[in-house]
Structure 1
Amino acid sequence: MTTKSQDGYRALLGLKQPRRLALACIPADFSDWLDYAAVVALLVYTWGQGPVVLAIFALALTLPYVLVGPILAVFVDRAPLVRVLFITNLGRALATLAFAFTGSPFVLLALVFARGCIDSAFTPARQGALQATTPDHLVGAAQGMHQAINQTSKIAGPAIGGLLLAFWPAQGVFLFNAALSFVAVAIILTLKVPERPEPATPPGTFLKEAMAGLSEFKRSRRLLIALIFSACAYFAFFLYDALIALLAAGFGFNETAYGFSISASGLGGLLGALIAGRLAQSRPMLSMSLAAVIAGSITIAIALAALFGANIPLILFLVVLGFMGGATAFMLVPYRTIVQTETPPDRIARVFASGEAVITCAMLSAPLIGSAIATRFGTGAAFLVGGALVVLLGLVTLASTRRP
């Protein structure tokens, strides 16, 4: 039996290859978000584009994980992981470098989509490398640490990019971001990942190989429950995620307070990832279920306050947003831990990519539904429906995992 000190982040960082993988993922993850503000500034302020182009930009960021990721994962599962990590980061660096030399919004959007396609192969390869280099008892800590790195990049990346725009043109931010990907490439060259065992079954047709990721969810009941839980949870979250500004305005908070609320949500996500990495290793489904019940109940409470016109202090609003952000990470880390422990090494990339595609599809369908609910019944109603769904999801999952 391992001691608490052996199960923590200190033990994980004491291992050379997991430490190098995490170090490489810092610039890699930041490169995903650093130029977000620069792309938006270029589209809106320089080229005068409107909401249609911004909607296409949002699709260019997300659709690669649905359309391309599961296909590229077939090659990721067959190729040496270090080679895939090297090629994908080099490809992202070159795509970002090309951002600086385009003069057309639609060429820029095509490059954003292309970089997303490359990233859709990098992310499953990272999961494969994490599985191959991390001892079983530290998988939860590894998932928590990598989610914390990713969450930090989402918080700080656009903020740093916006700050750089005060001194540099957008093209300068793109060049700086490309350099970050080259840093990740340099670190990956020092990484050593053990060879994966040969697959137990011979390769079939390409379509059969691509579908093997989804087939794995049918093989494992635990894996299937975790995927259904995550997809439903993210659907519920995104019913109201885009409406936080309207909720803040409804309570009488100004733009500055809204900015603080986004920071509180991001900080909650960071802390939730780190805590989940320590707690979710032994009973991940229980962690997910309890987090859903608690977070959903808090969301219902803030929704009822909005619907009945109650006045709440700003500090309480920020705490609630922090809990909501933390709940998201607290459900994602156990899900990825289950994927790691339930999936054979020869198909980890396909299982991970297929799961991400399902979750992303659920996310993409939610904002329009949430907007319709808010338009018809008020902003608080969207939060109420989302919170109720999360509580119900937690209770149903808790009951299903107790069945033999």
Structure 2
Amino acid sequence: MTQAKAEGYRSLLALPAPRRLALACVPADFADWLDYAAIVALLVYGWGQGPVTLALFALALSLPYVIIGPLLAVLVDRAPLRGVLFATNLGRALVTLAFAFSGDAGVLLGLVFLRGCIDSAFTPARQAAIQATTPVSLLGHAQGLHQAINQTSKIAGPAIGGALLAFWPAQSVFLFNGALSLLAAAIILGVAVPERATDAEGMEPFATRLLAGLAEFRRSRRLLIALIFSASAYFSFFLYDALIALLAEGLGFDATAFGLSISASGLGGLLGALLAGRIAASHPMRSMALAATVSGLVTSTIALIAMLGFAVQLPAFLLVLGFIGGATAFMLVPYRTIVQAEAPADRIARVFASGEAVIVTAMLSAPLIGSAIASRWGTPAAFLTGGVLLILLGGATLASTRRP
């Protein structure tokens, strides 16, 4: 613990392989989000599509991690990691370039799904590469750094993409974004990833190797608790995440204030990721549980204030959103640190992909339930429900970690 805190991010970036891997992930993560605004603009303003198409777009982004990622992770665990990282970035580049030549919504959504399938292999391969190139004492810092890069791309990527649309057509944004993935692939070639020991599963049926990732959650109680916690936390968050605009409107804020709230949430997530990286390796489960409890209290408080009709000043609202964003990162970084510590090197991609599939499945059901709660009892009720669930989750997790 003391050594990890003393070394910190500076020592992590002093190591050639982790530094170059992080550098490659900057354009790779931005490539995930830069064309988000361009796709939405093309669907809505270019082709006149409505809410059904946008819902299908959301599914095309999410479903690959549920149905394709665990399958590809079996191959990732047996392939040279640098080759996988290069091939996935090259594949994402080619598919993104194809966006520019799609002629209708169906083709574009199909390409979005295909890129998501490729990305569902890149993500576990990156986690395996982090484990292979990073000293154990710095794994928490590595997770914090990569989450910070990802969070920054979520904040700046759509904003930059939207700004580019003022000067370029959507097709040009796609071409530029494809070039970013090519840049990431080129940087990956310079990352020295140690070869992993070959597992003994090569002759076993594919289904057995596929389920080996889930089997690790049965083997490790700590890993299982972390997964249940993360899936439950994300379910609680997404009960109200899509309703932030309605809550802001109900509190009397305009569209500009809503935009600022999204930025505040993103900035909180960035700072939370960097802070969590410093302490994730010491007490990860306790950190996650306390973050859930405090985040639940804050969310429940703002919901009750809205229900009772009290006035909320914009700075206070932005502070709350920033805190919620930071708490989200404070739960994700320790979870991934636990996966790094508990999963064997020859199956970490499958463990990570299986966990992602469970978490994303939980997330997909939450917005519909949150919308139903908001429609029946009002928008603040969805925030209150999510906040109370987080409080209960944090308390239950703290209790479970104290058992022998």
Name the residue aligned to 1:24: 24
Name the residue aligned to 2:233: 233
Cα 1:314/1:115, change in 2 over 3 Å:
same
Name the residue aligned to 2:166: 166
The residue correspondences of 1:5-404 to structure 2 (distance < 5 A) are 6-199=6-199, 203-404=203-404
Using the TM superposition, give the Cα deviation of residue 6 of structure 1 relative to its aligned residue in structure 2, in angstroms: 3.8
Q: For the aligned residues, what is the CA RMSD?
A: 1.0
Using the TM superposition, give the Cα deviation of residue 379 of structure 1 relative to its aligned residue in structure 2, in angstroms: 0.8
Matched to 2:142, the amino acid is: A
Using the TM superposition, give the Cα deviation of residue 202 of structure 1 relative to its aligned residue in structure 2, in angstroms: 5.2
Cα 1:322/1:292, change in 2 over 3 Å:
same
Alignment partners' CA distance in 2, 1:125 and 1:7: 25
Q: What SS does the corresponding residue of 1:390 show, helix, strand or coil?
A: helix
Matched to 1:94, the amino acid is: L
Give per-residue Cα distances to partners, 1:273-318, cap 9 Å, x unaligned: 0000001111100100110111110001001001111101110000
Matched to 2:300, the amino acid is: I
Q: What SS does the corresponding residue of 2:194 show, helix, strand or coil?
A: coil
Alignment partners' CA distance in 1, 2:349 and 2:23: 21
Unmatched 5+ residue regions in structure 2?
none
Q: What SS does the corresponding residue of 2:282 show, helix, strand or coil?
A: coil
Instruction: Give the TM-score, by structure 1 length.
Output: 0.99
Using the TM superposition, give the Cα deviation of residue 54 of structure 1 relative to its aligned residue in structure 2, in angstroms: 0.7
Alignment partners' CA distance in 1, 2:257 and 2:6: 41
Q: Is the 8 A contact 1:7 1:278 kept in 2?
A: no
Alignment partners' CA distance in 1, 2:2 and 2:303: 43
Matched to 2:323, the amino acid is: F
Task: Give the percent of matched residue pairs that are identical in Structure 1 and Structure 2.
Answer: 74
Matched to 1:375, the amino acid is: S
Deviates more, 1:161-170 or 1:2-11: 2-11
Alignment partners' CA distance in 2, 1:92 and 1:324: 31
Using the TM superposition, give the Cα deviation of residue 5 of structure 1 relative to its aligned residue in structure 2, in angstroms: 6.0
Deviates more, 1:363-372 or 1:199-208: 199-208
Q: Is the 8 A contact 1:231 1:359 kept in 2?
A: yes
Using the TM superposition, give the Cα deviation of residue 85 of structure 1 relative to its aligned residue in structure 2, in angstroms: 0.3
Alignment partners' CA distance in 1, 2:45 and 2:264: 28
Using the TM superposition, give the Cα deviation of residue 331 of structure 1 relative to its aligned residue in structure 2, in angstroms: 0.1
Give per-residue Cα distances to partners, 1:21-75, cap 9 Å, x unaligned: 0000000000000000001111111111111111111100000000100000000
Q: Is the 8 A contact 2:4 2:138 kept in 1?
A: no
Matched to 2:333, the amino acid is: V
Matched to 1:147, the amino acid is: Q
Instruction: Give the TM-score, by structure 2 length.
Output: 0.99
Q: What SS does the corresponding residue of 2:347 show, helix, strand or coil?
A: helix
Q: Is the 8 A contact 1:18 1:134 kept in 2?
A: yes
Alignment partners' CA distance in 2, 1:200 and 1:43: 48
Alignment partners' CA distance in 1, 2:367 and 2:134: 37
